[in-house]
Amino acid sequence: MRLVMLGAPGAGKGTQADRLAERYGVPHVSTGDLFRAHFRQNTELGQTARRYMQEGHLVPDDVTEAMVWQRLGEADAHRGYILDGFPRTLPQAEHFDAALSAANWRLSGVFHVEVDRAVLQSRLTGRRSCPECKATYHVQFDPPSVADVCDQCGARLVQREDDRPETVAKRLTVYHTETEPLVQYYARQGLLRTIDGNQSMDEVTASLTEQLALIGLAHD
Ligand code: AMP
């Protein structure tokens, strides 16, 4: 199973990728999470990425591609993976296709999780996450039992630097100009499946599962 989750920031790709990854026993590979892990570990790559991320810009393609390819070469990704946040530009998609063909691999499918812009804005600015166990919440739609405290591990919840309103607007614009063209790109390859991401999380999971069955990837 080699899947790409395509969709705007806040579309719920991460949550859905986590669910599918658990169900199908393949890793959820999120480039945003990989960058954030790098900057927590204070690596050079992390410092570089952070400068772009804080402004809502994309990290340069070559830096991103090298990091992704290295991650996909790890043992747990040999049976497949669910990519979340990559590819995010046409050059990344083309480069990725070339790398896949060279390795004699092909993508099983690309899921485009489509969500209205007003919904995205409020999902992102209300999002909170746990710096310790990575659980995510939403102040309005999925609040923790005690405000600002993680239900799972008790740590104080934080807002991602790039979820502040000014940066969110920039990220949505960057998505529109840089990433949306990938919808057509993968449609032309016959790989694209569109999912209505305005539905509840469980409904989106159900739609994804249905579509996976249609491409022969039903789980046991
Ligand atoms: P995300 O967690 O997917 O919303 O990503 C957070 C930020 O990481 C993005 O706004 C970009 O700055 C950076 N990023 C993540 N994936 C990519 C990518 N494929 N190409 C370039 N930058 C990326």
**What domain count does the chain have?**
1
Confirm if 115 and 5 have CB atoms less than 8 A apart.
no
> Does 134 reside within a domain?
no
List the domain range (segments joined by +) for residue 82. 2-115+179-214
Taking only the tens place, the pLDDT of each residue in 128-166 is 999 899 888 999 989 999 999 999 999 999 998 899 998
> Does 91 reside within a domain?
yes
171 in active site: yes
> Does 12 reside within a domain?
yes
Q: Which residues line ligand 1 (CB under 6 A)?
A: 9, 31-32, 35, 52-53, 56-59, 64, 85-86, 88, 92, 162, 171
> Does 147 reside within a domain?
no
CATH of the domain at 104: 3.40.50.300
Distance, CA of 135 to CA of 78 (rounded, Å): 26
Confirm if 151 and 144 have CB atoms less than 8 A apart.
yes
Burial 185-214 (b: 16+ CB within 10 A, else e): bbeeeebbbbbebeeeeeebbebbbeebee
Distance, CA of 178 to CA of 148 (rounded, Å): 34
Q: What is the enclosing helix (H) or strand (E) of 101?
A: helix 90-102
Q: What is the pTM for the complete model shown?
A: 0.91
> Does 131 reside within a domain?
no
Ligand 1 atom, smallest distance to 88 CA: 19
> Does 167 reside within a domain?
no
